[in-house]
Amino acid sequence: MSSVNRYTIAILVRNEFGVLNRVTSMFRRRQFNIECLTVSETESPAYSRITLIFEGEDNAKRQLVTQLYKLPDVVKVKEFDPDHTISAELLLIKMANDPETREEILDAASAFEAKVVDYTRHSIVLRMTDDSRRIDAFLDLMRDFEIIEICRTGVVSLERGGENSLRHQSLSERVSGAAPPAAPPPAPAARAARPVAWVGGTAWRRALGMVPRGAGRVPAWVRGGWPVACARVGERVRQAALL
């Protein structure tokens, strides 16, 4: 039986309406519980970056990535290795400004490099940017005091090194100076259907039963052209109506 692991993946998607709903619906159908989700802009205005943290089995995760690539707006999926990834998230926490606990709160904030961004007689708002483990540890410490409100963003991650792990192919080629890929050939134009008959011909007249198939000579009234033919058709219709 496969063990349950924790995964962090980033998905490069096109900026299209409803793409976030389609991506999260794929996780729901695969019964993955999303622990964290962050959507952010990229170096190109045509694309957005979705970063997700979830738990599951390795085989199910591979199937999920395969299914994600089948979505029309998904360009690339990247799984991050924790040992080669820089991750961070933002925490805003509002603490009660109690004179008895104020010094302890400020000392703990200083130890975790949290910054005071708002100070009133009744509250202290601290801002902390760090990885998830240190933020969890700071929150556990703050629970010993009176917490008024917490707001915590999702994780954002970048891979170490000088490459963009989610760069689209055309963007990479543009940066390196390589020629862009040749445009695909245009789709062949739909061939216009050949008409069954045309004015002056006899195929459509044979189709209406006016000229027997295999007739060698076309009657004179048929050679008279469109007006004579229309009159003949009208006469046949009137005769059929009187029967």
Which domains, ranges and CATH numbers included, belong to the chain?
A: 4-79 (3.30.70.260), 86-158 (3.30.70.1150), 203-242 (no CATH)
pLDDT attached to residue 196: 41
pLDDT attached to residue 125: 97
Cα distance between residue 189 and residue 191, in whole Å: 6
pLDDT attached to residue 5: 87
Question: Helical H runs in 80-211?
Answer: 102-111, 132-142, 169-176, 203-207
pLDDT attached to residue 105: 95
Cβ–Cβ under 8 Å, residues 98 and 26: no
Instruction: Kindly give the parts of the chain with pLDDT less than 50.
Output: 169-183, 194-200, 204, 207
120 Cβ partners below 8 Å, 6+ apart? 97
pLDDT attached to residue 198: 44
pLDDT attached to residue 158: 86
119-144 burial code (b ≥16 CB/10 A, e <16): eeeeebbbebebebebbeebbeebee
Question: Helical H runs in the chain?
Answer: 19-29, 58-69, 102-111, 132-142, 169-176, 203-207, 220-223, 226-242
38-66 burial code (b ≥16 CB/10 A, e <16): beeebeeeebbbbbbbbebeeeebeebbe
pLDDT attached to residue 97: 95
pLDDT attached to residue 160: 84
pLDDT attached to residue 195: 46
pLDDT attached to residue 240: 56
Helix (H) or strand (E) holding 85: strand 85-96
